[in-house]
Amino acid sequence: MSLNEAEIEKRLIEKLEEIKYSYRPDIRDKTALEANFRQKFEALNRVTLTDAEFARLRDGIIHADVFQAAKALREYGYMEREDGTPLHFQLVNLKDWCKNAFEVINQLHINTENSHHRYDVILLLNGLPLVQIELKTLGLSPRKAMEQIIDYRNDPGNGYGNSLLCFMQLFIVSNRNQTFKPEGKKAAAEDAEIRGKITDQVFSDIPRFQRQKQSQQAVVDAILAKHDAATNHRRFNALLATASINDAIAYYRLFKQVQAERQADNLPLHIACVFSPPAEGNRDVKQLQEDLPQEKADNQQEPEQKKAALQEIISDYNAQFGTNHKLSEFDLYYQDIQQRIKDQKYPNKDYPRKNKIDLCIVVDMLLTGFDSQYLNSLYVDKNLKHHGLIQAFSRTNRVLNDTKPYGNILDFRAQEKSVDQAIALFSGEDAKRSREIWLVDPAPQVIEKLDAAVKQLEDFMQAQGQPCTPAAVNNLKGTAARVEFINRFKEIQRLKKYLDQYTDLTDAQQQQIEQRLPEDSLRGFKGMYLETAQRLKNEQGKTKDPDNPVIEQLEFEFVLFSSALIDYDYIMGLIARYSHEQPGKETLSREQIINLLASSSNLMDERDEIIAYINTLEAGKGHGGIEDIRGNYQVFKAQKTQDELAQLPTRHRLKSEALQGFVDAILDRMIFDGEQLSDLFAPLELGWKARSQAELALMQDLVPLLIKQAGGREISGLAAYE
């Protein structure tokens, strides 16, 4: 039986009422939420506040910092009342939990300056929203709800930072079939105490890399061999956790030596290293080292040698990144490292790779409390236990999307027993279930799933009377068949993407994957997926059949088809190479470049223009180097856009000068003005209905051209026509 979201929501609330939650359908906005909290607060603390006192209380407990909000839940607060008497209060009865008020609300609306936010189900504790539950229908992935939560949190002025929603401690998303949430009350309480949020434990999947203790040389060799696979060809970055400051120094120097020897054959990793310097009476460093026990102890031995090594490391860092850090201002150096790790999020064309860190060597620093969605791998050459192990491993699992299906842990100390102990300690007694939550399936199991997914695609294509080849996808009849292909192949790509990030695949396993899904066939299917998905995406929101929601519920997951290798610079380099090769002696054909473009979603918005440009070039004509190719392409693209724009006045019965002025005004201000659109059609003297239809027809043709000319910048007000 198919249930819509409202019915799923209703059933969930009924279940919560069965376990004695009070349903409050009257709380639907910020005002009602605050009034209910005030009532619960006054009852808990046996006090009656004036309106001014409540406003001071509310503003005093709301924190944009999630740590401070989580801390406020667990501590006694203080405020001075209007008559000068002190009020010591608590938000939660920590001694007698049964005396707290447990409530459930739904469809809460809190608006920002830019958006209207609606929350499916929220659990209240003494009127404070602590748990957010987002529900989706069975046909949709729970990840869609997780992405919605992240979008809400990133929206300027969102309620998570300036309303009672700041107390949110747990997010749960579900489609009745899959539910994402942290396992284990103790783990939740522990992590909330430390960081005030636990939204990311959903994705704490860790592949295991079990080895015996090896020499540092062997560890360096292993990291250099596996880093590109682990980090999806350096789309993400990594930490190397070492056992001591001396080990960190030794590793840094060894990487430096090995990479210098191999520079001709390999693109070197950008490696940073950070550990605290000897305190030497510096209060800031002393305070910093209170949370860095290993570094504090290490700095007691031979401090001058460690200081000299850190100065050497900072000097190399300055040379690499063009900075001017010094040991006396260590905190600025430390902050810069953290920011560069986070700056991995920017594409290379926007933020050059030379400015990014691939690997950072650490001892204690960054292993707790540091969050970056683009940090996905942790190399471990130190013994970790219990809480420290969970904290260190969790650096790699911050929510992003399907390009980061899990965090990678490459353990060089064979600590599987310690992992099992930590999981058992922080995830309750069901060890088997806990391992399923924390650890990804071993590679053979994922390969079996891939094999089954390929078989399902083959069966589907056979049922449609077609061979299982990329070309046959064009012969599929009807929307339902194309949607089915999208869903079948998306699962294949998801599993293949996961396997690409396993660093311990054997040669036999890699051969097994290649035989089941040859690279040429995979690339062809990816191209057909992207082409079909783009057509279906353009149909979303335009279907008139409410009983056929198949397109509206379709999730395309274009990010699964992106490639860290096939970016703008890579394609321009291939085009330059192709243009210099003599006919009959080409090592790279025009068709190969086009197929590469078609198989990756990275350049979907520009793919047609790039292909059209490639088709104007002849092999062997030598159209210049990469910069020449890049410049000529920009000229070609601008001219192509201008030619397409020049066709619109005739098609829509408009004056060329008027249309060009309309377009120029939009691009000058980056704002779309609906009144100017109406003025554009005023000379035609159309009726209201005919004018609306004419405006929509023009914008359907004009929006893609405006987006191209905007060059990635957002045009305010244009979204209504996209």
Shared domain for 262 and 400, answered yes or no, is: yes
Task: Name the residue among 522, 525, 544 with its Cα closest to residue 533.
Answer: 525
In 3D space, the residue among 126, 186, 115 whose CA is nearest the CA of residue 152 turns out to be 115
**CB atoms closer than 10 angstroms to residue 571:** 22
Strands of the 408-411 sheet, one edge to the other: 271-273, 359-362, 237-242, 375-381, 408-411
Please provide residue 242's backbone torsions phi and psi, each rounded to the nearest 5 degrees.
-110, 165
Buried b / exposed e along 476-490 (16+ C-beta atoms within 10 A): beebebbbbbbebbb
Residue 187, domain member (yes or no): no
Q: Provide the β-strand partners of residue 104.
A: 23, 123
Cβ neighbours, 10 Å, residue 448: 12
Residues 553 and 605 in one domain: no
Looking at residue 356, what DSSP letter applies? -
User: Which three-class secondary structure state does DSSP give residue 380?
Assistant: strand
What does the block give as tokens for 597?
A: 């473009």
Q: How many residues does the chain have?
A: 722
Pair 82, 57: CB distance under 8 Å: no
**Number of CB atoms found within 10 A of residue 620's CB:** 15
Give the N- to C-terminal CA distance of the chain in Å, as an integer. Answer: 34
- Does the residue 200 lie in any domain? no
Are 167 and 40 in the same domain? yes
Nearest partner of 231 among 74, 90, 356, judged by Cα? 356
Is the domain of 418 the same as that of 460?
A: no
Last residue of a domain, one of 510, 526, 561: 561
Residue with tokens 């409202």: 6
Same structural domain, 287 and 421: yes
Distance in angstroms (rounded) separating the CA atoms of residues 434 and 201: 12
Give the three-class secondary structure for 360.
strand
CB 606 within 8 A of CB 613: no
Distance of CA 146 to the CA centre of its chain: 10
Say if 192 falls within a structural domain: no
Of 411, 438, 465, which residue sits at a domain end? 438
Tokens representing 540? 């979303």
SS3 letters across 207-256: CCCCCCCCCHHHHHHHHHHHHHHHCCCCCCEEEEEECCHHHHHHHHHHHH
- Provide DSSP, 663-682: HHHHHHHTB--HHHHHHHHG
**115 φ, ψ (degrees, to nearest 5):** -145, 165
- Asked if residue 359 belongs to a domain, the reply is yes
Same domain, 16 and 105: yes
Which residues lie across from 240 on neighbouring strands?
361, 379
Outline where DSSP puts E strands in 30-168: 77-80, 86-89, 102-111, 116-125, 128-135
**Per-residue confidence (pLDDT) for residue 639, from 0 to 100:** 84
Handedness of CA 290, 294, 297, 303 (dihedral sign): negative
Same domain, 526 and 591: no
Tell me if 685 sits within 8 A of 653, measured CB to CB: no
Predicted confidence at residue 322, as pLDDT, reads 93
Domain CATH code at residue 103? 3.90.640.50
Does 398 lie in the same domain as 259? yes
Handedness of CA 482, 484, 488, 494 (dihedral sign): positive
Strand blocks (E) in 318-406: 359-362, 375-381
What is the Cα–Cα distance from 213 to 504, expressed in whole angstroms?
17
Which of 536, 561, 586 is the last residue before a domain boundary?
A: 561
Instruction: For residue 633, give both structure tokens.
Output: 């392409």
pTM: 0.50
Domain that holds residue 682: 568-721
CB of 382 within 8 A of CB of 397? no
The answer to whether residue 186 sits within a structural domain is no
Residue 265 token pair: 């054959």
**d(C-alpha 198, C-alpha 177), whole Å:** 22
Say which residue the tokens 């090995």 belong to: 258
Pure H helices in 322-375? 330-342
- Predicted local distance difference test score (pLDDT) of residue 583: 64
> Are residues 90 and 165 located together in one domain of the fold?
yes
Give me the residue label for tokens 């039986």. Answer: 1
Residue 194 lies in a domain: no
The answer to whether residues 553 and 586 belong to one domain is: no
Domain-located, residue 201: no
Residues of the chain with pLDDT under 70: 1-3, 111-116, 137-148, 150-159, 175-214, 264-265, 348-349, 385-388, 390, 397-405, 414-440, 538, 540-570, 580-588, 598-605, 619-624, 711-712, 719-722
**Consecutive H or E run containing 631:** helix 626-652
User: Under a CB-based contact definition with an 8 Å cutoff, are residues 76 and 91 in contact?
Assistant: no
b/e per residue, 23-46, with b = 16+ CB within 10 A?
A: ebeebeebeebbebbbebbeebbe
Q: What pLDDT is attached to residue 199?
A: 24
Same domain membership, residue 546 and residue 599: no
Cα separations in angstroms, 111 against 31, 163, 306, 440, 584: 12, 11, 53, 38, 63
For residue 37, the surrounding DSSP H or E stretch is helix 30-45
Question: Does residue 361 contact residue 251 with C-beta atoms inside 8 Å?
Answer: yes
Q: Where are the beta strands (DSSP E) in 47-100?
A: 77-80, 86-89
Structural domain includes residue 572:
yes
Rounded-to-10 torsion of CA 613, 618, 623, 626: 60
Same domain, 346 and 374: yes
The 10s digit of each residue's pLDDT in 491-508 is 898 888 888 777 778 888
The one-character DSSP state at 67 is H
Nearest-10 Cα torsion for 575, 580, 583, 589: -20
Q: With helix as H, strand as E and coil as C, how does 596-613 read?
A: HHHCCCCCHHHHHHHHHH
Residues with Cβ within 8 Å of residue 250, at least 6 apart in sequence: 216
CATH number, domain at 228?
3.40.50.300
* Count of the separate structural domains present in the chain: 4
By C-alpha distance, which of 438, 441, 335, 345 is closest to 393? 438
- Per-residue pLDDT of 84-142, as tens digits, reads 899 999 999 888 888 899 999 998 887 655 556 778 899 999 999 999 888 876 555 55
